[in-house]
């Protein structure tokens, strides 16, 4: 079953593991990753949510379950910690070292935060699930953030689906309520601590920090009666519609953070605006996500595997 489409609960969890660095082989390990149960479950989760939000606005009506509310409360706690940990004065403009203080608090409290979300009979899953939460906010050594960290948060949500905390009817709330709140907190982290983009391709990349909201955001816009891909480079259209569509919210954030002509600082997005339909944009972004994120060793070398997202070959 795809995560998010089954009511089954995963077997008892074990501690997460990573392949020791000295044993990593770029070619063979990437092939192993693409054949793994983890890859199949992760992509299944992404595509299930992609279909779940198709043609829906952020502001539409949807069910908000108790676990969803608890996840939002968790993210609100992370947001509050940013306010309690202001940037420090330092010579370097980027990579404010106060982020390490903020991260140390998350590192210490992550399991407790997860335990507040999951029911008591699933408490044994907390150590493994908490690993993905800690991985999802950026690297405390380099003080950077990128699509690998974003993937860790999606994996965190995927694990909650696999153990039965999140259910099939939570799909819209997972994207619109939880993931959207996660984006807000990450943007605040990026701005507050001036975090570096992790593995950024600069002008040749889709975005310095995120990818998934462009996929799910383009799905939201499929079959929209008036908004076409060419419209997202129009400032007026973005300002009027960003609260309804995740894709446009991303464009707004980019234009707030970068100066100069859009075609120069966001060339890939500028090219995408010439695609004739949102369905083609969505399909193209999914292919691009696999090629540029999930199949790039510098991104996936940090991905954690365990009993919920195992490295073993896919069985179904």
Q: What is the number of structural domains in the chain?
A: 1
> 61 vs 55, 57, 66, 227, 272, CA distance in Å?
13, 9, 16, 21, 30
Residue 29: its pLDDT value, please? 76
Paired tokens of 87: 């940037």
Direct distance between the N- and C-terminal alpha carbons of the chain, in angstroms, rounded to an integer: 8
Angle at 93 between CA 75 and CA 83, to 5 degrees: 30
CATH code of 86's domain: 1.20.120.1150
Phi, psi of 268 (to 5 degrees): -65, -45
Asked if residue 103 is part of any domain, the answer here is yes
Asked if residue 44 is part of any domain, the answer here is yes
Instruction: Report the alpha-carbon distance of residue 269 to residue 150 in Å, rounded.
Output: 19
**Residue 116 forms beta bridges with which residues?**
none
**Residue-range definition of the domain harbouring residue 285:** 21-305
> 267 vs 60, 69, 83, CA distance in Å?
31, 37, 34
Residue 1: its pLDDT value, please? 41
Residue 4: its pLDDT value, please? 46
Please state the pTM of the whole predicted model: 0.90
Instruction: Report the alpha-carbon distance of residue 64 to residue 175 in Å, rounded.
Output: 11
Asked if residue 220 is part of any domain, the answer here is yes
Q: Express each pLDDT in 146-178 by its tens digit.
A: 999 999 999 999 999 999 999 999 999 999 999
Q: Express each pLDDT in 31-64 by its tens digit.
A: 889 999 999 999 999 999 999 999 999 999 999 9
Asked if residue 13 is part of any domain, the answer here is no
Residue 201: its pLDDT value, please? 57
Asked if residue 98 is part of any domain, the answer here is yes
pLDDT-flagged residues of the chain (< 70): 1-28, 199-205, 316
Asked if residue 310 is part of any domain, the answer here is no
Residue 300: its pLDDT value, please? 83
Residue 260: its pLDDT value, please? 87
């Amino acid at each position: 079953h795809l995560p998010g489409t089954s009511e089954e609960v995963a077997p008892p969890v074990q501690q997460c593991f990573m392949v020791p660095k000295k044993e990593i082989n770029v070619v063979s390990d990437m092939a192993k990753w693409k054949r793994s149960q983890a890859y199949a479950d992760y992509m299944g989760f992404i595509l299930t949510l992609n279909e779940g939000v198709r043609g829906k606005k952020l502001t539409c009506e949807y069910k908000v379950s108790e676990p969803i509310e608890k996840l939002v409360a968790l993210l609100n706690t992370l947001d509050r910690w940013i306010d309690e940990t202001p940037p420090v004065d330092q010579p370097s403009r980027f990579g404010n070292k106060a982020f390490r203080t903020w991260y140390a608090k998350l590192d210490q409290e992550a399991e407790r935060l997860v335990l507040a979300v999951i029911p008591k009979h699933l408490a044994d899953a907390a150590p493994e699930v908490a690993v993905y939460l800690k991985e999802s906010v950026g690297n405390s050594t380099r003080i950077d953030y990128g699509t690998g960290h974003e993937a860790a948060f999606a994996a965190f949500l995927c694990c909650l689906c696999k153990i039965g905390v999140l259910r099939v009817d939570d799909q819209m709330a997972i994207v619109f309520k939880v993931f959207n709140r996660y984006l807000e907190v990450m943007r605040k982290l990026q701005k507050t601590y001036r975090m570096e983009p992790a593995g950024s391709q600069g002008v040749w990349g889709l975005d310095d920090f995120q990818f998934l909201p462009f996929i799910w955001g383009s799905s939201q816009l499929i079959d929209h009666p008036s908004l076409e891909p060419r419209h997202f480079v129009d400032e007026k259209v973005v300002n009027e519609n960003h609260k309804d569509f995740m894709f446009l919210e991303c464009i707004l954030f980019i234009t707030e953070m970068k100066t100069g002509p859009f075609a120069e600082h966001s060339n890939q997005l500028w090219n995408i605006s010439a695609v004739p339909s949102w369905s083609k944009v969505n399909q193209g972004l999914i292919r691009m996500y696999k090629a540029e994120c999930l199949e790039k060793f510098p991104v996936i070398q940090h991905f954690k595997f365990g009993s919920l997202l195992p490295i073993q070959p896919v069985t179904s």
